[in-house]
Structure 1
Amino acid sequence: MPVVPSPAAAYDYLIVGGGAAGCVLAARLSEDPDARVLLVEAGPDHRGVREVLDAAHWDALIGGPYDHGYRSAPTEHVLGRALAMPRGKVLGGSSSTNAMLWYRGNRADYDAWADAGATGWGFDDLLPYFRRSETRAGGDPEFRGVDGPMRVGPLADVHPIAHALIAASADRGLPVIDDANGADNEGAVYADYNAIVGPDGSFERWSTARGYLEPALARPNLDVVVDSRVHGLVVAAGVVTGIRHVVCGELVTTSASRVVLAAGALDTPRLLQLSGIGDPGRLVGAGIRPVHALPGVGENFQDHPLILGMNFRARADLGPVIGNGGGAMLNWRSSYAAAGPDMHTVVAHGSRGDEALHAAHDLSGNRVFALVPGLYRSRSVGWVRVRSADPDAAADFHPNYLADPTDLATMVEAVDTVQDLVAASAYAELSEGPITPVRGLSREEKTQFVRQNIGTFFHCSGTARIGTDELAVVDTGLKVRGLEGLWVADASVMPSIPTCNTQAPTVAIAERAAELIAAA
Structure 2
Amino acid sequence: MRNAPSLPTRPLEKAYDYIVVGSGSGGSAVTRRLIDGTDATVLLIEAGPAGLGIPEIDDPTQWVPLGRSQYDWLYDYAPSRHVNGRTIGIPRGKVLGGCSATNAMMWYRGHPLDYDAWGEAGCAGWSFAECLPYFKRAEDWEGGETAYRGAGGPLRIETSKALHPIAQAMIDGSAELGIPVIDDPNGESNEGAAPSNFNIVGGKRWSSVTGYLAPVFDHPRLTILTGSLVTSLVIDKGRITGIRHLVDGKQMETAATTQVVLAAGAFDTPRLLMLSGIGDPQELARLGIPTVHALPGVGRNLQDHPLVQAVVVRSRKPLGDKLDNGGGSMMNWKSRPDLIQPDIHAFPVQGNSAEPRLRELYDLSGEVLSLGAGLMHSKSVGHIRMLGAEPLAPLEIQPNYLAEPSDLDAMVIAVETMMDLAETKAFSGLFDGFAAPPARLDRAGMIDFVRNGCSTFFHPCGTAKMGCDDDAVVDHKLRLRGLSGLTIADASVIPIIPTCNTHAPVTMIGERAADFLIAAA
By the TM > 0.5 criterion, same fold?
Answer: yes
Deviation of 1:2 (Å): 6.6
Do structure 1's residue 164 and structure 2's residue 169 form an aligned pair? yes
Deviation of 1:47 (Å): 1.0
* Matching of residues 177-196 of structure 1 within 5 Å: 177-196=182-201
> Which ranges in structure 2 are unaligned for 5 or more consecutive residues?
1-6
* 2: CA distance, partners of 1:517 / 1:20: 17
Which amino acid letter does the alignment assign opposite residue 503 of structure 1?
A: H
Alignment deviations for residues 421-463 of structure 1 (CA, whole Å, 9 cap, x no partner): 1111111111112110122211111111111111100011111
**Which residue is equivalent to 2:410?**
410
**Which residue is equivalent to 2:278?**
277
* 1: CA distance, partners of 2:378 / 2:196: 22
Deviation of 1:46 (Å): 2.4
**Which residue is equivalent to 2:54?**
49
Paired residue secondary structure (2:302):
coil
Superposition RMSD in Å = 1.3
2:308–2:374 Cα contact (<8 Å) kept: yes
1:307–1:453 Cα contact (<8 Å) kept: yes
Alignment deviations for residues 246-298 of structure 1 (CA, whole Å, 9 cap, x no partner): 11111111110210000111111111111110110111011211100001111
Select which of 107, 112, 115 maps to 2:117.
112
**Which residue is equivalent to 2:97?**
92
Counting aligned pairs with the same residue, the percent is 49
Deviation of 1:517 (Å): 1.3
2:93–2:102 Cα contact (<8 Å) kept: yes
* 2: CA distance, partners of 1:141 / 1:349: 32
**Which residue is equivalent to 1:312?**
313
**Which residue is equivalent to 1:481?**
481
* Matching of residues 49-68 of structure 1 within 5 Å: 49-68=54-73
2:114–2:499 Cα contact (<8 Å) kept: yes
1:330–1:344 Cα contact (<8 Å) kept: yes
**Which residue is equivalent to 1:393?**
393
Paired residue secondary structure (1:69):
coil
CA gap of 1:351–1:122, structure 2 versus 1, over 3 A, is: same
CA gap of 1:114–1:33, structure 2 versus 1, over 3 A, is: closer
* 2: CA distance, partners of 1:439 / 1:174: 24
* 1: CA distance, partners of 2:144 / 2:114: 21
Select which of 13, 16, 21 maps to 1:16.
21
* 2: CA distance, partners of 1:248 / 1:322: 40
* 1: CA distance, partners of 2:224 / 2:33: 14
* Matching of residues 277-356 of structure 1 within 5 Å: 277-335=278-336, 338-356=339-357
* 1: CA distance, partners of 2:483 / 2:67: 36
**Which residue is equivalent to 1:76?**
81
**Which residue is equivalent to 2:227?**
227
Which amino acid letter does the alignment assign opposite residue 344 of structure 2?
A: M
1:33–1:221 Cα contact (<8 Å) kept: no
Alignment deviations for residues 343-378 of structure 1 (CA, whole Å, 9 cap, x no partner): 00000101012333324433344x211110010111
Which amino acid letter does the alignment assign opposite residue 82 of structure 2?
A: H
* 1: CA distance, partners of 2:171 / 2:478: 40
Between stretches 24-33 and 221-230, larger displacement belongs to 24-33
Alignment deviations for residues 129-177 of structure 1 (CA, whole Å, 9 cap, x no partner): 1111011122561111110110111101111111111111000111111
Paired residue secondary structure (2:359):
helix
* 1: CA distance, partners of 2:297 / 2:109: 25
Between stretches 437-446 and 456-465, larger displacement belongs to 437-446
**Which residue is equivalent to 1:240?**
240
Deviation of 1:466 (Å): 1.1
Paired residue secondary structure (1:300):
strand
Deviation of 1:5 (Å): 5.2
Which amino acid letter does the alignment assign opposite residue 101 of structure 1?
A: M
**Which residue is equivalent to 1:260?**
261
1:5–1:254 Cα contact (<8 Å) kept: no
Do structure 1's residue 372 and structure 2's residue 372 form an aligned pair? yes
TM-score by length of 1: 0.96
* 2: CA distance, partners of 1:512 / 1:295: 25
> Which ranges in structure 1 are unaligned for 5 or more consecutive residues?
198-202
1:336–1:410 Cα contact (<8 Å) kept: no
2:307–2:455 Cα contact (<8 Å) kept: yes
Paired residue secondary structure (1:504):
helix
Do structure 1's residue 144 and structure 2's residue 149 form an aligned pair? yes
Which amino acid letter does the alignment assign opposite residue 363 of structure 2?
A: D
**Which residue is equivalent to 2:453?**
453
2:77–2:87 Cα contact (<8 Å) kept: yes
* 1: CA distance, partners of 2:473 / 2:76: 24
Which amino acid letter does the alignment assign opposite residue 370 of structure 1?
A: S
1:4–1:247 Cα contact (<8 Å) kept: no
Alignment deviations for residues 196-252 of structure 1 (CA, whole Å, 9 cap, x no partner): 11xxxxx21100011000001110000010011111111122110111111111111
TM-score by length of 2: 0.96
Deviation of 1:387 (Å): 2.0
1:116–1:467 Cα contact (<8 Å) kept: yes
Paired residue secondary structure (1:232):
strand
* 2: CA distance, partners of 1:4 / 1:213: 16
**Which residue is equivalent to 2:179?**
174
Alignment deviations for residues 67-99 of structure 1 (CA, whole Å, 9 cap, x no partner): 111001111111111110000010111010011
**Which residue is equivalent to 1:200?**
none
* 2: CA distance, partners of 1:71 / 1:283: 22
Paired residue secondary structure (1:507):
helix
2:37–2:518 Cα contact (<8 Å) kept: no
2:139–2:151 Cα contact (<8 Å) kept: yes
Do structure 1's residue 218 and structure 2's residue 218 form an aligned pair? yes
Between stretches 138-147 and 212-221, larger displacement belongs to 138-147
* 2: CA distance, partners of 1:123 / 1:195: 26
Runs of 4+ in 1 over 4 A off after TM superposition: 1-6
- Corresponding residue pairs, total: 513
Which amino acid letter does the alignment assign opposite residue 490 of structure 1?
A: D
Which amino acid letter does the alignment assign opposite residue 164 of structure 2?
A: H
2:167–2:328 Cα contact (<8 Å) kept: yes
1:140–1:182 Cα contact (<8 Å) kept: no
* 2: CA distance, partners of 1:25 / 1:89: 18
CA gap of 1:267–1:83, structure 2 versus 1, over 3 A, is: same
1:288–1:388 Cα contact (<8 Å) kept: no
